[in-house]
Amino acid sequence: MAFADGTADFRSDTVTRPTEAMRKAMADAIVGDDVYGEDPTVNLLEEESAAVVGTEAAVFVPSGTMGNQLAIWGHTIPGSEVVCVETAHVRNHERAAAAAIAGVQFRGVESPDGSITPDQVKDTAAPEHHHPRPSLLAWENTHNTSGGTVTPLDVMVETSDAARAIGLRIHLDGARLFNAVAATGITADRWADPVDTVQFCFSKGLGAPVGSILCGPADFIDEARYRRKMLGGGMRQVGVIASAARIALAERDRLTEDHENARRLADGLADRYPGSVDPAAVQTNMVIADCSPIPGGVAAAIDALAAAGVVAAEFPVGHIRFVTHRDVDAADVERVLAGLPRP
């Protein structure tokens, strides 16, 4: 189902527009001042979210970035290191906020798919007089830049155990946690079990227009709520948007449709342009296509798609990242395949 103007936007799952049910819920939302803790819709959303991931508490935040940054700030001390994969969103796509806010730097470890081994974490422990000390291990599951790959739960458990053994706290950037749930059938509370805090987004595949949530122990979340206000994240009558997020959370099972559409697209691209996509690497709602087998390369592909009413962007260089979501369907996948230049 493309947008009302007929375009199908595959750039990200952040582009979804609120459904009629969300718009109605937003119009009818019962609200109060959330800075006083008096917005009933936000309070419900926080309780429901904490229950889904099995934590004591949760705090609603405007963005995944703010959720991640509150976690990093709360878990670390200035001058320490956050261990993550070198391509992590917290490291590369959050405007260096962790350096500005928490005063930490990142130790990015090499990983093709978002996994981190116990040895990679152990190697970060300060071995000599010059090395900064690590304070936090940050997971990203699913992992964005490797194409929505799932880090297996046993890998998360084993490496998190190794991290705890050397005194690290553990955060999960679960912007797309429910894509990992949909791909594996493993419930969200089990993914959250090895970590101290988890951030997930309502505004990605879940399809809400705005909002994310940080979940964790009650005392940690109390402090995060205090710091959210410091950052200007006290949002007052924010039940207006929490109402849409509640619907997004309740409808999370629909993500399997996005995964089916991504699979269709991956198979179609691999068939037409051998070498562009490894279908076996496509596990959730993203397909990263190497455009070198497409005549004219990435620029010609983006232009041809635009002429077919498909919005696509280069990410990373020489590639297009196609992301499936609520506002693109199987017919839009066919539109991509029909629109691209023929070999």
Query: Which residues contact ligand TLP (rule: CB under 6 A)?
Result: 12, 14, 63-65, 68, 89, 93, 140, 144, 173, 175, 201, 203, 212
Structure-token pair, residue 110:
């090499």
Distance CA(170)–CA(44), nearest Å, equals 26
One-letter amino acid for residue 343 of the chain = P
CA angle 250, 263, 208 (to 5 degrees): 25
Question: Whole-number minimum distance, CB 38 to ligand TLP, in Å?
Answer: 25
- Contact criterion met (CB below 8 Å) for 68 and 94: yes
In the chain, the N- to C-terminal Cα span, in Å, equals 28
Question: Whole-number minimum distance, CB 128 to ligand TLP, in Å?
Answer: 33
Give the ranges where 37-152 is alpha helix by DSSP (H). Answer: 40-53, 64-75, 89-92, 97-101, 118-122
Question: Whole-number minimum distance, CB 65 to ligand TLP, in Å?
Answer: 3
Question: Whole-number minimum distance, CB 343 to ligand TLP, in Å?
Answer: 29
Question: Which is nearer to ligand TLP, 57 or 70 (by Cβ)?
Answer: 70
Q: Tell me the residue number closest to ligand TLP, measured at CB.
A: 64
Question: Which is nearer to ligand TLP, 245 or 301 (by Cβ)?
Answer: 245
Question: Whole-number minimum distance, CB 59 to ligand TLP, in Å?
Answer: 15
- Contact criterion met (CB below 8 Å) for 75 and 169: yes
Question: Whole-number minimum distance, CB 151 to ligand TLP, in Å?
Answer: 12
Question: Whole-number minimum distance, CB 212 to ligand TLP, in Å?
Answer: 5
Nearest to 150 by CA among 11, 282, 332, 299: 282
Q: Can you state the percent helix, strand and coil of the chain, rounding each to 5?
A: 45, 15, 40
Question: Which is nearer to ligand TLP, 89 or 228 (by Cβ)?
Answer: 89
Question: Which is nearer to ligand TLP, 64 or 147 (by Cβ)?
Answer: 64
Structure-token pair, residue 79:
């001058």
Question: Which is nearer to ligand TLP, 178 or 273 (by Cβ)?
Answer: 178
Q: How many CB atoms lie within 10 A of CB 222?
A: 12
Could you tell me the CA-to-CA distances from 309 to 2, 57, 265, 306, 339 in Å, in that order?
9, 43, 16, 5, 9
Question: Which is nearer to ligand TLP, 273 or 320 (by Cβ)?
Answer: 320
Q: Which H or E element spans position 27?
A: helix 20-28
Question: Which is nearer to ligand TLP, 201 or 255 (by Cβ)?
Answer: 201
Question: Whole-number minimum distance, CB 103 to ligand TLP, in Å?
Answer: 20
Question: Which is nearer to ligand TLP, 63 or 160 (by Cβ)?
Answer: 63
Structure-token pair, residue 228:
């959210």
Distance CA(82)–CA(98), nearest Å, equals 9
Tokens 């889904």: give the residue.
52
Question: Which is nearer to ligand TLP, 147 or 273 (by Cβ)?
Answer: 147
Question: Whole-number minimum distance, CB 94 to ligand TLP, in Å?
Answer: 7
DSSP string, 213-253: EEEE-HHHHHHHHHHHHHTT---SSTHHHHHHHHHHHHTGG
Beta bridge partners of 173: 140, 199
